[in-house]
Amino acid sequence: QSVLTQPPSVSGAPGQRVTISCTGRSSNIGAGYDVHWYQQLPGAAPKLLIYDNSNRPSGVPDRFSGSKSGTSASLDITGLQAEDEADYYCQSYDSSLSGSVFGGGTKLTVL
Amino acid sequence: EVQLVESGGGLIQPGGSLRLSCGASGFTFSAYAMTWVRQGPGKGLEWVSYISTRSTTIFYTDSVKGRFTMSRDNAKKSLYLQMNSLRDEDTAVYYCARVSRYRESSLDYWGPGTLVTVSS
């Protein structure tokens, strides 16, 4: 049972848009802590995709965007491509646990 | 180029001990806090521990408190995780990751991971 809740899976056809949600609570996202997103390709280590809710590291395509509101955050992927097929994780900080927390992960399938 | 490389994983019996290492290069290691994150087989990511730049602040997830000890050697640009009293549920790939700025920040670089299998 992860502290942050994500849908187990989402899917979309090439070129379409998908949204992955991440729901927290008052001790983490709702407390104002930033949300970060990671992409994990099959067999690889996670890679930072979005930091501080909506910022992209250098090299991440602008097809990826993030937002945060209240106790939730979202990752949007537009213009889906086959290489986007991966697991996506949200992360934040939880003051009651004094540590980072992750969502359970969402598997994106490109149809 | 920032690089993190973990080592020390392997097969260990329940109750045993193992020490993981993470070597860093391509950045000023002493200027960054570090974390360990693990991923059980077919499971999601789980934060394990955090250590500040000068080791003055160390935090652990509840399930490893009292059994795992995180440390670092800035002169050797290395991070460590001493794991004692290992349990089946500690079986996972263990990643070391760099904390980008402060404790609540993102993890901007990750190593490829090292597999720890706890089994009799």
Per-residue model confidence (pLDDT) at position A13: 97
B118 close to B87: Cβ distance less than 8 angstroms: yes
Sequence length of chain B is: 120
CA A12/CA B35 separation, integer angstroms: 34
* The two three-digit tokens of residue A93, written as one number: 């900080």
* The two three-digit tokens of residue A33, written as one number: 């802590």
pLDDT, tens digit (0-9, with 9 covering 90-100), for A67-99: 999 999 999 999 999 999 999 999 999 999 999
Nearest Cα neighbor of A51 from A33, A37, A32 is A37
Of A47, A52, A101, the CB nearest to B47: A101
Residues from B contacting A (CB-CB < 8 Å) are 35, 37, 44-47, 50, 59-62, 95, 100, 103-113
**Residue A88 to residues B22, B63, B117: CA-CA distances in angstroms?**
24, 24, 25
Pick the residue from chain B with its C-alpha nearest to A36.
B106
Pick the residue from chain B with its C-alpha nearest to A101.
B47
Of A89, A91, A98, the CB nearest to B59: A98
pLDDT, tens digit (0-9, with 9 covering 90-100), for B59-109: 999 999 999 999 999 999 999 999 999 999 999 999 999 999 887 889 999
pLDDT, tens digit (0-9, with 9 covering 90-100), for A24-55: 999 999 999 999 999 999 999 999 999 999 99
Q: Which of B32, B45, B65 to mutate to test the interface with A (most CBs of A within 10 A)?
A: B45
CB contact under 8 A, A33 and B104: yes
**Residue A47 to residues A59, B51, B85, B111: CA-CA distances in angstroms?**
11, 20, 31, 10
CB contact under 8 A, A99 and B45: no
A57 close to B100: Cβ distance less than 8 angstroms: no
